[in-house]
Structure 1
Amino acid sequence: MHRATTVFPMSSQTSPSSIRAPIQIGSSVSTACWNKAIAGVRAAAFWAAVVLPLAYVPAAYGVMGFEGAWSAIALIAVHMACVVIGHEHNTPSNNPSTNA
């Protein structure tokens, strides 16, 4: 019976880019988490900017706690902040042909 021998070549030429230090790995994980958090905030702000105009009608009639001009001004300010923060939100497409 003949056994096959596996030979692993020894390489003394390890490129510095193939070895990643733990700080680099942690940094890339931190960056990925930060990007996900930013995407979540942008998505929430985008959808809040879509839904907030529905609150203008009760604010115009002074119902549901919207009493006085300051609450209407605050509503408009929050809406504008949501528009500014959420304007770069984009939903990922499942169709690869639309990403080109």
Structure 2
Amino acid sequence: MSSETSPPTVRKPTRLGSTLSTWFRRLTVDGARAVAFWAAIFLPVAYVPAVYGVGVFDGAWSTLALLAAHMVCVVIGHGHNRPDGDQR
């Protein structure tokens, strides 16, 4: 009889959980970056009604909120679709 054990062929639950959480986090972050990138592209269309005070843009605060939202989208979406070797 030998006391040697064969290496396990089944992944440990903690390692599988870690892999899944890393995959889910990457998927979520990439999705948020993509949405923010495209929002930053299309938000300037809303500037025209904001300048004229049309619709929901009836005050200075809503226009400032639009500008703030646009800047946040620019910052978050900055890294969208960047090549893997160009991580800044």
With the shorter chain as reference, the TM-score category is: 0.7 to 0.9
Distance in 1, matches of 2:39 and 2:60, equals 21
State which of 6, 22, 30 in structure 2 corresponds to 1:39. Answer: 30
Q: What amino acid does structure 1 have at the position aligned with 2:70?
A: H
Instruction: Find the partner of 1:26 among 5, 17, 23.
Output: 17
* Regions of 4+ moved over 6 Å: none
- In structure 2, which of residues 42, 57, 68 is the aligned counterpart of residue 66 of structure 1? 57
Bigger relative contact order (CA 8 A; separation at least 6)? 2
Report how far residue 35 of structure 1 moved: 0.5
Q: What is the CA RMSD across the aligned residues, in angstroms?
A: 2.2
TM-score (norm 1): 0.71
Length, aligned pairs only: 80
Matched, 1:52 2:12: no
Larger of the two Rg values belongs to structure: 1
TM-score (norm 2): 0.80
Runs of 5+ consecutive residues of structure 1 not aligned to the other structure:
1-10, 93-100
